Structures are given as C-alpha cells and as structure tokens.
Amino acid sequence: MHLTLTAERRLDGGVLERAFTLDGIPGLLWTPATESAPEPAPLVLLGHPGDLHRMHPRLAARARHCAADGFAAAAIELPGGGDRPRSPEADQARADLQRALAAGERPSEDVIDRLVLPLVDQAVPEARAALDALLALPGIGGPVGYSGGIISIGVRLALVDPRIAAAVLFAGSYVPRTMFDEARRLTLPLHVLLQWDDEGNDRQLALDLFDAFGSPEKTLNANMGGHTGVPPSAAEAAARFLARHLR
Amino acid sequence: MHLTLTAERRLDGGVLERAFTLDGIPGLLWTPATESAPEPAPLVLLGHPGDLHRMHPRLAARARHCAADGFAAAAIELPGGGDRPRSPEADQARADLQRALAAGERPSEDVIDRLVLPLVDQAVPEARAALDALLALPGIGGPVGYSGGIISIGVRLALVDPRIAAAVLFAGSYVPRTMFDEARRLTLPLHVLLQWDDEGNDRQLALDLFDAFGSPEKTLNANMGGHTGVPPSAAEAAARFLARHLR
C-alpha cells in the first residue's frame, strides 16, 4: 500500500504531527522534533477504539509520552471508524452487545464473535501494511511496540508480526473465545492494563485472558477509575515498559 | 517502649544501617547517609516474613531503594521470627498449613486463622511502638509508608495507624476471612503486588482481597516469577508509588 503525507504541524512539547493516508486509510504519525536525527527512532503503533478525530487529544498525549522517550508513534483509522465505510454487520453486532449490557446480561459468544472477529481480520493486515510503509520513512526504525486499543487486535498483531517486540494491551473489551488460542501462543513481553471497575467489560474474562497469555514476561496493572480513567501513574508505567523493551 | 541503638555500619551506596532493640525486639534502621540533613526524612516500614538475618540482603536492597528516594527505612523482627521466642501454636498452625498444601488441599479457615490472627494481634502493636520510637529520632519524620511482608499485618496496621499514608501490600500469603472486613474499611492509597504463579498462595483469594479494599486509589501489579521472583520493574513501580505519596 502507498503512504501519502497530507499535512503536518508542530504540537506543544516539540512533537511533529503528520497526517497521512495509506491507500485511503487516514493515519497520524508523531515524531520527536529534534534538529539532529541520530538513530532511527523505534516506533509505537497506538491502538484506539476507532475515530481518530474524536480520539485525537488522547492519542496526541500518548504520542507525546512516546516522543519524550525518543520514540515515533503512529495510529491508523480502524475499519468502520471515523469517515471509513461502516459495516452493517458490525453495527448490528454492536447494537446487540449494547442491548445485552443494558439488560444486565452477559453478551453471547455469537455477538462477541460477530463484533470482534471481522474487525480483527481486517484491521491487522492494515496495521501490518502501515508498519511496512512507516518503517520505510527516514528517521523511523525498529523495534516496534504496540500499545492500547482493542485487545483482540493487539493479540493477533503481536502473534503474526515478528516486528512487534513488546505490547501494552488494554484489557477493556470483550474477547472472542477463539482469541484465547492465539493468546496462549504469544511469547513477547506484555504489559496488560485493566480498569478494575470498567462497567462495559468482563473483569473475569480479562483475568482469564491474562492467565492464558503464553509470554514468560507479563505484567497485569489494574487500577480504579472506570473504562476511560486510566490514572497517570499507570500510563507512566506502560511508557516505562515500552522504554525498557524498545531501547 | 525504649529504643536502644546497638551498632551501625555504612552500606554500599551511601546508606547508614543502624541496628537497634526495642525492649528486646531486634530491628534495623536505614537512613540516607547525607552530610547535610535538610528536612526530616519520611519513613518506610519494611514488612517481611520473619528472621531479619535471613532476610537481610533483600531488606537492605529495598532500603537502598528508599534511601535513593530520600526516605528512611526500618524493619523489626516478627513475633516468633529470628531469635525471638517461638509460639508452639503458630508452629502447629504452620505445620498444618504445609501439610494441607503438600496434599494439594486448600488450607482450612481454621488453620489460616490460627496461623495469622495471633501474629497480627501481636505484630501490629509492636510495629506501632517502633514507629513511636523511630519517629522521635532526629532526622526522621512523617509521613510513613508501609511496604511488603505479611499482607494481613499491613492491612491491620494501615487501618489502625493514621500515620501510615500509603501502603505497598504483597499479596503473597493466606488471609483470614475476618481480615476482609478490615480491608473494606481502608481508605489510604494502596499498591498491591501479586505473584501470579505463586504456588504457596491462593490467587483467587488475593484477587478477592484486592477487590475488597475500600481505597479509592488502588493498583494491582501482578507479575510472573514465583513467590520470591518479584521482577525489578515491579520493585521500581512500588518505589515510585511510595515516592508519589510520601513526598
């Protein structure tokens, strides 16, 4: 796929933000705005739940963290996110999930599969194509870290792409049972964030998934504060994990 | 109770280690060996499983961490630990616990109560008396942090002593059911370490206890590596937690 840089601007804190498209998929790239470019910077691919525009403040904050550690960061729009074409099947599955949660029921395996598996199947090859293109840019090198977003995407990407050296996974969404087989086969260092009182998530499922990860080095960092309330200390711990493994 | 300083030596890394007795209970005090003594140093009371001599290398390493953050650290011998008089009842309860674990059984509530509750009842007043004496020494002030050791002692001490401003709790030992009521009443910031694959511990009990803590700010940091294999990154995260709350 072909990457086209479409715009650039400087953010506070000396970070260069560049917008790009990758065969029509919008993306953002953040790099430390240093005058001298010594070594190629390791790259952190930032996961998110979709809609780059809505997520921009939080993504830019995470990118600043990366830049402070000397890392580039990038995000691409999810299938069905932002202005990308929506999938009627995914919309139906999301409505079914929300209906189950509103009724206080556990979402069925079928609903979770319909919501997550097609998204993973489409998003992971797109993420890999983005890595191909981004790693070819001057000033950006390996190793690559993955951080946050929909955990099933992170699991699949970490499993199939050997360029991913370490992953911060956000255990904040329902996980299809078939993803557990992939989780067991992971071996890379993992730092798993869990919001203990996340009302839209299944805590026991998240703990079971953490238990399933095959990685000999894995950390679970669980905090209070609801789905979007990851405390600054937890964000810093995640950044330190990436710094340990990408430098 | 009366504190008598009995010996002192300098450790590598510029830490002064002083041995003391507190009405016959042995203890150790570590302070940053600075020439100028600016503010009184916050104090971290280091918990441990008993036997200061055997635990000395690990306690000294933790004390160096504290000193690097500008904190004093101290530990006192547990009831029945080291050269202190053993309790036949505690020895019997420990033998019963180990028999249950060796047989692959869950230890009974009765065994856990007999092992832990008398220890907590005796150790916590001794820890408070140590704080009285240590905080009266020149160069040592508040606030006080608690870190590690037998988690039920940490829970009780944090509940009854308002000088404890933050606690790192090591979820590495069986907890009597009655301690859950005390856990629910805690409000101070907590950083809970759990070794995920600790064979001599009950993981679900540890997760239930974390869930029970009443503190609005609580973090669970779970890692691989067995009971004694807390990784350096987890020790650093715990030190950062104390630094955030004691400074």
Residues of B in contact with A240 (CB under 8 A): 233, 236-237
Record: contact A233-B241, CB cut-off 8 A:
yes
Q: Is B211 on the interface with A (CB under 8 A)?
A: yes
Of residues B75 and B228, more confidently modeled: B75
User: Minimal Cα–Cα distance from A14 to chain B, Å?
Assistant: 27
Query: What pLDDT shows up at residue B36?
Result: 60
Domains annotated for chain A, with CATH where assigned, are 3-84+120-246 (3.40.50.1820)
Nearest residue of B to residue A213 by CA position? B224
Q: Which residue has the tokens 């290398």?
A: B57
Q: What is the mean pLDDT of residues B41-67?
A: 96
Q: What is the mean pLDDT of residues A201-219?
A: 97
Of B220, B224, B241, the CB nearest to A222: B220
Q: What is the mean pLDDT of residues A67-76?
A: 96
Give the rounded percent of residues in chain A with a pLDDT score beyond 70.
98
How far, in Å, are A97, B50, B80 from residue B192 at the CA level? 33, 20, 26
How far, in Å, are A222, A230, B28, B215 from residue B221 at the CA level? 7, 14, 28, 16
The band of A120, judged by pLDDT with boundaries at 50, 70 and 90, is: very high
pTM greater than the 0.90 cutoff: yes
Nearest residue of A to residue B190 by CA position? A223
Contact B180, B154 (CB under 8 A): no
Q: Which tens digits make up the pLDDT trace of B207-224?
A: 999 999 999 999 999 999
Record: contact B233-A216, CB cut-off 8 A:
no
Average pLDDT, chain B: 95
Nearest residue of B to residue A215 by CA position? B224
Q: What is the mean pLDDT of residues A210-227?
A: 97
- Which residues have C-beta within 8 Å of that of residue B100, sequence separation ≥ 6? B106, B107, B108, B111
| Complex ipTM | 0.89
How far, in Å, are A4, A194, A204, A211, B168 from residue A207 at the CA level? 41, 9, 5, 6, 21
Residues of B in contact with A221 (CB under 8 A): 219-222
Instruction: Return the DSSP state at A188.
Output: S
The band of B175, judged by pLDDT with boundaries at 50, 70 and 90, is: very high
Query: What pLDDT shows up at residue A195?
Result: 97
Give the rounded percent of residues in chain A with a pLDDT score beyond 90.
89
Query: What pLDDT shows up at residue B37?
Result: 58
Q: Is B212 on the interface with A (CB under 8 A)?
A: no
Q: What is the mean pLDDT of residues A35-54?
A: 89
Dihedrals phi, psi of B154, to nearest 5 degrees: -60, -40
Give the other-Cβ count within 10 Å of B54's Cβ: 13
Identify from B198, B218, B219, B247 which residue to disrupt to test chain A contact, counting A C-beta atoms within 10 A and taking the largest count.
B219
Record: contact A219-B221, CB cut-off 8 A:
yes
Nearest residue of B to residue A222 by CA position? B220
- At B175, list the tokens: 């907890």
Identify from A169, A204, A224, A242 which residue to disrupt to test chain B contact, counting B C-beta atoms within 10 A and taking the largest count.
A224
Query: What pLDDT shows up at residue A1?
Result: 80
Record: contact B218-A221, CB cut-off 8 A:
no
Query: What pLDDT shows up at residue A13?
Result: 78
From A46-50, A198-202, B211-215, the region with the lowest mean pLDDT: A198-202
C-alpha to C-alpha distance for B77 and A230, rounded to whole angstroms: 38
The band of A37, judged by pLDDT with boundaries at 50, 70 and 90, is: low
Give the rounded percent of residues in chain B with a pLDDT score beyond 90.
89
Return the biggest CA–CA distance within chain B.
57
Residue among B58, B37, B69 at smallest CA distance from B246: B69
Instruction: Return the DSSP state at A14.
Output: T
Q: Which tens digits make up the pLDDT trace of B176-205?
A: 999 999 999 999 999 999 999 998 889 999
Average pLDDT, chain A: 95
